[in-house]
Structure 1
Amino acid sequence: MTAIQLSENWTVSATGGPVPDDIAGRGIPAEVPGSVHLDLLRAGLVAEPFDGANEAEQQWIGDADWRFETTFRWHDDGSERRELVAEGLDTLATVTLNGVEVGRTENQHRSYRFDIGAALVEGENALRVDFAAPVPAAAARSEEHGPRPHVNHHPYNALRKMASGFGWDWGIDVAASGIWRPIRIETWSTARIASVRPLVGVDGGAGVLDAHIAIDRADALTAVPLRVEVEVAGIVRAAEVAAGATGAHVRIEVPDAELWWPRGHGAQALYDVAVRLDGDLDAWRGRVGFRTVRVDVAPDEHGSPFAVHVNDRLIQVRGANWIPDHAFVTEVDRDRCERRIGDATEANMNLLRVWGGGLYESDDFYDLCDEQGVLVWQDFLFACAAYAEEDWLAREVEAEAREAITRLSPHPSLVVWNGNNENIIGYAEWGWRARLGGRTWGEGYYRRLLPGLLAELDPTRFYAPGSPYSFSSYISPNVDTHGTVHVWDVWNAKDYAAYREWTPRFVAEFGFQGPPAWTTLVDAVHDDPLDPYGEQMLVHQKAQEGNLKLERGYGPHLPAPRTIDDWHWATQLNQAAAVRFGIAHFRSLAPYNTGTIVWQLNDGWPVISWAAVDAAERRKPLWHALKAVYEPRLVTVQPRDGVLAAILLNDADEPWSGVVVARRLAFDGAVLAEARVAADVGARGTATVALPAGAVLADDPAGEVLVVEAAGLGRTIHDFAEVVDQALDRDALDVVAAREGSDGAVRVRVTARSYARDVFLLADRGHPTAVVDSGLVSLLPGEAHEFVVSGAPAAVAPEAFASPLVLRHAGDLAG
């Protein structure tokens, strides 16, 4: 096989639509893979799309038709087959080679292979890809086939294109066109490997590999017998492929195979797999990890769980939802992906849910999850909308699902396939049924097509019809005693204290908003003066009544901000406090509750959102809260039977025994009461420790805290009152900042004179490139903590990181 990569000498030009005069008909240098927005930006023809209010000014791009063109040289090498392979065209494309139409596409989420033997010529060749404007096309298809309910303003459900690219309640509207994955010419003879599905299992200590190989023949009339060899762990097995046959199955047992485990449960043993077709005719390489997956949803005395087991061990899920990490997805390379997965693992996460309004992610994403032991829950790409099931859309849905299931089958990290995000509850409870008037809405995909394809192609993974889902057609999809739930009354309607009204078996979505880091925000928003309701600020706040919900959210908990600086700190702090509160409650219900997946880990552009890490890759206070509350060993104080109790969580292989020490302290450090209770927690277990009334009943809630410690397990500080009602000292800290050590880092040492709640260093406000190692540290009188700030140039004075706008704590919000 010979391949010619077509990544050079591309131009793009607008061929129709509301195109500005200075751009119409003009050939613009283009990058492939890429996007027309980025090509226009590099050429200086549009301003930075993320900046200010530029989003609205650039809507014409998604209303325009675009033509990508290149030339390449080809020499006839005598191969029988000549094909154009497009791994990703976004989205409605007509492909022409030397004036001959060779193919059409209408699905961003799949690849295409076109026979170009009749069009390819010796020497110079001209390739053209014409993209129809996606925004009017989606509207036209919706109207033609019958409008169906969807969130947001464009009918993205009428195209197989990344839904969030049309705008979301956290996402910019940049629906456009481009060759977004590699494109190449392939020539080959006799046969080639079309795909490999290396499915794994474990049987009596042996790893089992069932390799299913699909074969393309160059010419069915002259097909010859072939031989397929599969190698794993030094073991080679072969299968003969009869003349004309297009598939082979090879089974290999690997004695005493090392198992692949999720992080925190063991090592991530990975085995290389090599598949060879007739010697060197064609080859495929990949990796597998031997492990089993089971998700228990069987009815029990409480309802029905959602309990993920890997290698027959229950995994307490500590996860986050993953969205495309950049609005222009070709900007996400392996290094960026690795940094983002590092954000997850450093925050003690063991699962990422790839949300259905985004993409089937890059191979890099799944490879990195395999290596890091991060479990993957993968949505099929349906989100918050009703989808037509007629042939015009269904044929593309099936093609993309077949390809995605096959491509992702080697990855041990992938444990759950999910049919859709919120579409079943949309039909059941959001009034869709009446609006649809009998039109199809996607049920056939979720209940028949997708599970059928998994049964055919990869029965080793668990399939859920949707999220949320109760695993019954006769129970609300979002009831907390059954299956998975999404908790959105908190944020949309209720205070975060209402998380305790829920007793969920598994929480697949929940979260609270907050702004990005200060520098990320002001680099994109230039209102003067800066104001939560400024014109550009609102461009970067996509949630319905988002800023009003932020105000309503911090009202019961924090003093009203007096300045924009305080607003930024208060809303970031409240986001962190809300999610920390919710996760601590949900985790305290273990093993009844088996997991939480917070919305969301990451952002795709600078925006006020639910993310823990903003688009400039700065970790928000929420990230630090997640790291703390997702610790495998955790102590939390929760109400039980009308009184406070200590809940001990031990998600580790070693049991814990010791003494739980509960102290009620005044803010000046005086010990008002103390109690000691012996306790034991088994490996991967939990325990509830009743605390004496004298320790947990405050005489002065505004001036006291409860400190509960279990040496080797953790410490928690329980506040008897909200910040707004506490007598916190605005000047609670002694601060010393200095450059020390050979690493050039600034070390900011803070010592508490009185109780200091949620101390945080907004490092980017000291210098835009600075980052800090820790955050949201609560200190008792006399305690000290050292923040280590890296990334700041040597010219920046250490005192910059002791500024009142940089070093914050909850008490400094008081008037």
Structure 2
Amino acid sequence: MNREELHDGWRLTAVGGPVPDAVAGRTVPAAVPGSVHLDLLDAGLIEDPYADRVEAGLTWLHRTSWRYTLDFAAEPAADRADLVFDGLDTVATIRLNGTVLGRTANMHRSHRFDVRGLLRASGNELTVDLRPALEHAEAVERALGKRPRAYRHPFNTVRKMACSFGWDWGPDLQTAGIWRPVRLERWHSARLARVRPLVTVDADGTGRVTVHADVERACHAPLDVAVSIAGRSARGEIAPGDTTATVVVTVPDADLWWPAGYGDQPRYPLSVELSAGGAVLDRHDRRVGFRTITVDTEPDAIGTPFTFVVNGKPVFAKGANWIPDDHFLTRITRERLARRVDQALGAHLNLLRVWGGGIYESEDFYDVCDERGILVWQDFPFACAAYPEEDPLWTEVDAEAREQVARLTPHPSLALWCGNNENLWGHADWRWREQLGGRSWGLRYYRDLLPAIVAELDPTRAYAPGSPYSPGTVHPNDPDHGTRHEWDVWNRVGYTRYRDHVPRFCAEFGFEGPPTWATLTRWLHDRPLSTSSPAFQAHQKAEDGAGKLERGLAPHLPPPSTFEDWHWATQLNQARAVAFGVEHFRSWWPRTAGAVVWQLNDCWPVTSWAAIDYGERPKPLWYALKHAFAPRLFTVQPRDGAEVVIAVNDTDEDWTGDLRLAWRGFDGSLLDGDTLPFSVPARSAAVAGKAGGRREVLVAESGDVRLVHVFGEDVEHPYEPAALTARAEPVPGGYRVAVTASALAVDVALLVDRVAPDAVVDDMLVTLLPGETRTFEVRTGATVAAGAFADPLVLRSANALVRRE
């Protein structure tokens, strides 16, 4: 097998549509993999789509057709020569030397074309014509009938990343391009068309790898498939005319792969060789991990649980939803993915849910998750819409799902296949039935096609028809059954209402907040910058987002008087809201078996639900998740009409000790105290003591775990607004900042990106008692003025937002 990448020398030209004069007739260099927007940006023909209101001026791209052209030479072909596109975005016609090779309309698939009779030694011309995905989707919609959807464009009638058409956190840019690698493959006799290793562990601890190898032939000779792993090997023969082989290799006492926080992540190199007559024809190498992953859905006295079980051990899913990490997908590197997954680990997460309005992620994404022990919940790409079940979509979905399920089988991190995001819920509650008028809406995908494909190609993993989902005739978002999405808090009611429900597994919940100051001001240049300035509003995509932020803030903090105060107050409120939900859900383990926050990351600079903004900077929410998902946690929760301290122990060791309780006034004075022995078994939660009903301050601590709980709302309390001082000293790699409180200081934070754009602080949202000092570590390559960290816009707390009368 000889593989030659065809990435250099491409050219891009607009060939139809409402093309501006500055672009019409121009041919520019094209990056492959890449996208039209980025090529135009590199050529200086458009401004950056993420800046200010540039997005609105680029709608002409929605209806423009493009041609990619490459001239290349080719060595004489062997038995076969294939042109392979790993991903085309999206509606394409491919020609080689004037001959049409094929037409595509699915960015979630690869395509392979036999070109052995078309190649020339020199002067080959390869063209890829891309017509607008929007126009294709509109044509399919006219042919099949309109189906309800969450947004304006018919993203549900084309197999393209749904959020490419805009979402309530993403831009409407509708990318086009050759978005994954292109290569020429020359081979003879046979090649490995697909290698599908299914990895399990027997009851006695023996690791078992069952390799299903599919081959494409150019000869009728017998073929051999050799599989080796961990010093053990096995062979299988493919008889003349046959195209498949199944080879099993066992590894006694295999080291098990565990999620983060439960153990290590050993992986074993797996090699698959295809040969004929002793000559190696093709080879497939990758790494696999031995583990078992199931989901417990056995009905119990409450309803239907939804609990991940890894290697026989129930796991509380501490998770976040994952969207594409850049709207321009080809800018997402392995290094960027590794940084993002490391940030997830830094917040004590053990699961990422790849949401159904995005893509099947790159091999790099799953490999990074394999390395670090992050479980992956993979949605099939269906989201917030009714999807036609007729062709051309049915055939495309079938082919796409088969390819992607087979591709991802080797990854130990992959824990679940899920049929869709919110479509079952939409059909039940969003008035779809009357709009559909009897037309198909996707149920056969979720109940028939997709589970059958998973059962056939990846029986080692569970499948859920959707999220949220409840079995049988139960409402899909019922809290007592399966998975739940909790969006009333953001859309309608205050965040204390998270406690209204005790779901079996909360797969989505969240609250909005703006990005960090450095990210905001890097991309938005309104002067003055305000919540009503044009660019700021262009980067707030949520329906009534500003109103919901204001209403969500009002019960907790006074209306901010400046934009800077608004920025801090809404970030703080976002962090508190989500942490409130996380702690509630964790306190109910094992009844509640997962809390998957919406969302970890952003795809562009925007006010959103993300914990990490597009500039890769952690928002206060990230620090709140770090605290709320900590392996050991004290949290105040209501039980049987009283407030209690619940100890959550997500470790493999029992947690025993003395719980020291101190009730203090806002001036720091000790009002009452108690010391209670407590014991919480491994991987469990239990009541450790009574919190009392005092509307002041409770300090609960044991060892290095501490909770400072302020009763009531900040808006009610007489905080000292100037309670903090800071002293900074340079240290290798940054600064050490000692913050001292002269009075109770609630949710102390250093917004260090205001000091230097690259600065990151190790912690924030720490409440200090009068007289306490907390030292923060700040990483930065910048030289910072001595008093910069004491600036009142940098050294923040809830105190300064609550003005004394």
Same fold (TM over 0.5): yes
Residue deviations 1:300-321 (CA, integer Å, cap 9, x gap): 1001100110000000110000
Q: Does 1:251 align with 2:248?
A: yes
5 Å-filtered alignment, 1:341-356, equals 341-356=341-356
Is the Cα contact below 8 Å between 1:380 and 1:417 reproduced in 2? Answer: yes
**Aligned amino acid, residue 357 of structure 1:** G
Q: Does 1:153 align with 2:152?
A: yes
Is the Cα contact below 8 Å between 1:738 and 1:799 reproduced in 2? Answer: no
Is the Cα contact below 8 Å between 2:417 and 2:463 reproduced in 1? Answer: yes
CA-CA distance at 1:327 after TM superposition = 0.7
Q: Give SS of 2:3's match.
A: strand
**Aligned amino acid, residue 266 of structure 2:** A
Matches of 2:282 and 2:358, distance apart in 1: 33
Q: Give SS of 1:46's match.
A: coil
5 Å-filtered alignment, 1:170-209, equals 170-203=169-202, 204-209=204-209
Corresponding residue number in structure 1 for 2:764: 775
CA-CA distance at 1:738 after TM superposition = 2.3
CA-CA distance at 1:733 after TM superposition = 1.3
In the superposition, the TM-score normalised over structure 1's length comes to: 0.97
Corresponding residue number in structure 2 for 1:51: 51
Matches of 2:345 and 2:394, distance apart in 1: 37
5 Å-filtered alignment, 1:476-555, equals 476-555=475-554
Q: Give SS of 1:513's match.
A: coil
Q: Does 1:135 align with 2:134?
A: yes
**Aligned amino acid, residue 778 of structure 1:** T
Is the Cα contact below 8 Å between 1:347 and 1:624 reproduced in 2? Answer: yes
Corresponding residue number in structure 1 for 2:228: 231
Matches of 1:162 and 1:15, distance apart in 2: 24
Q: Give SS of 1:348's match.
A: coil
Residue deviations 1:52-97 (CA, integer Å, cap 9, x gap): 11111001112100000011110204x1111110000000000011
Residue deviations 1:495-521 (CA, integer Å, cap 9, x gap): 001101011110000000000001211
Matches of 2:125 and 2:135, distance apart in 1: 28
Corresponding residue number in structure 1 for 2:667: 668
Is the Cα contact below 8 Å between 2:643 and 2:692 reproduced in 1? Answer: yes
Matches of 1:417 and 1:176, distance apart in 2: 26
Corresponding residue number in structure 2 for 1:634: 633
Aligned pair partner of 2:693 in 694, 697, 715: 697
CA-CA distance at 1:639 after TM superposition = 1.2
Residue deviations 1:523-553 (CA, integer Å, cap 9, x gap): 2222222111221111000000001000000
Corresponding residue number in structure 2 for 1:749: 738
CA-CA distance at 1:685 after TM superposition = 1.8
Corresponding residue number in structure 2 for 1:683: 682
Corresponding residue number in structure 2 for 1:787: 776
Q: Give SS of 1:662's match.
A: strand
**Aligned amino acid, residue 377 of structure 1:** W
Corresponding residue number in structure 1 for 2:431: 431
Matches of 1:57 and 1:684, distance apart in 2: 53
Aligned pair partner of 1:710 in 702, 705, 723: 702
CA-CA distance at 1:641 after TM superposition = 1.3
**Aligned amino acid, residue 324 of structure 1:** P
Corresponding residue number in structure 1 for 2:716: 725
CA-CA distance at 1:792 after TM superposition = 4.1
Is the Cα contact below 8 Å between 2:257 and 2:264 reproduced in 1? Answer: yes
In the superposition, the TM-score normalised over structure 2's length comes to: 0.98
5 Å-filtered alignment, 1:260-659, equals 260-278=257-275, 279-472=279-472, 474-659=473-658
Q: Which 4+ stretches in 1 moved above 6 angstroms?
A: none
Matches of 2:52 and 2:685, distance apart in 1: 49
Matches of 2:539 and 2:79, distance apart in 1: 54
**Aligned amino acid, residue 428 of structure 1:** A
Is the Cα contact below 8 Å between 1:708 and 1:717 reproduced in 2? Answer: yes
Aligned pair partner of 1:762 in 727, 751, 756: 751
Matches of 1:22 and 1:559, distance apart in 2: 50
Matches of 1:413 and 1:156, distance apart in 2: 29
Matches of 1:744 and 1:159, distance apart in 2: 49
CA-CA distance at 1:293 after TM superposition = 1.2
Is the Cα contact below 8 Å between 2:91 and 2:130 reproduced in 1? Answer: yes
**Aligned amino acid, residue 697 of structure 1:** G
Matches of 1:677 and 1:229, distance apart in 2: 63
Matches of 1:210 and 1:356, distance apart in 2: 29
Q: Give SS of 2:280's match.
A: coil
**Aligned amino acid, residue 32 of structure 2:** V
Is the Cα contact below 8 Å between 2:194 and 2:214 reproduced in 1? Answer: yes
Matches of 1:504 and 1:319, distance apart in 2: 15
CA-CA distance at 1:717 after TM superposition = 1.5
Which residues of structure 1 form unaligned runs of 5+? none
Matches of 2:678 and 2:736, distance apart in 1: 38
Matches of 1:271 and 1:689, distance apart in 2: 43
Is the Cα contact below 8 Å between 1:668 and 1:753 reproduced in 2? Answer: no
CA-CA distance at 1:117 after TM superposition = 2.1
Q: Does 1:811 align with 2:802?
A: no
Q: Does 1:24 align with 2:24?
A: yes
**Aligned amino acid, residue 811 of structure 1:** N
Residue deviations 1:727-786 (CA, integer Å, cap 9, x gap): 1111111221222x3x14122210111111001111111122222111111111222111
Is the Cα contact below 8 Å between 1:376 and 1:415 reproduced in 2? Answer: yes
Corresponding residue number in structure 1 for 2:66: 66
Q: Give SS of 1:560's match.
A: coil
286-295 or 115-124: which moved more?
115-124
Is the Cα contact below 8 Å between 1:517 and 1:614 reproduced in 2? Answer: yes
**Aligned amino acid, residue 200 of structure 2:** G
Is the Cα contact below 8 Å between 1:748 and 1:802 reproduced in 2? Answer: no
Is the Cα contact below 8 Å between 2:505 and 2:592 reproduced in 1? Answer: yes
**Aligned amino acid, residue 86 of structure 1:** F
Q: Give SS of 1:281's match.
A: strand
Residue deviations 1:584-603 (CA, integer Å, cap 9, x gap): 11111111111100000000
Identity %: 53
Q: Give SS of 1:357's match.
A: coil
Is the Cα contact below 8 Å between 1:511 and 1:600 reproduced in 2? Answer: yes
Matches of 1:256 and 1:126, distance apart in 2: 55
Matches of 2:15 and 2:750, distance apart in 1: 51
Matches of 1:528 and 1:722, distance apart in 2: 34
Is the Cα contact below 8 Å between 2:725 and 2:790 reproduced in 1? Answer: no
Q: Give SS of 1:135's match.
A: helix
Corresponding residue number in structure 2 for 1:797: 785
Is the Cα contact below 8 Å between 1:292 and 1:311 reproduced in 2? Answer: yes
770-779 or 308-317: which moved more?
770-779
**Aligned amino acid, residue 710 of structure 1:** S
Residue deviations 1:268-304 (CA, integer Å, cap 9, x gap): 1101100000142100011111111111111110011
CA-CA distance at 1:798 after TM superposition = 2.9
Matches of 1:583 and 1:293, distance apart in 2: 24
**1:744–1:686 distance in 2 versus 1, CA, 3 Å:** closer
Matches of 2:532 and 2:738, distance apart in 1: 36
Matches of 2:403 and 2:733, distance apart in 1: 49
Is the Cα contact below 8 Å between 1:469 and 1:477 reproduced in 2? Answer: yes
Corresponding residue number in structure 2 for 1:118: 117
Matches of 1:251 and 1:769, distance apart in 2: 50
Matches of 1:288 and 1:727, distance apart in 2: 58
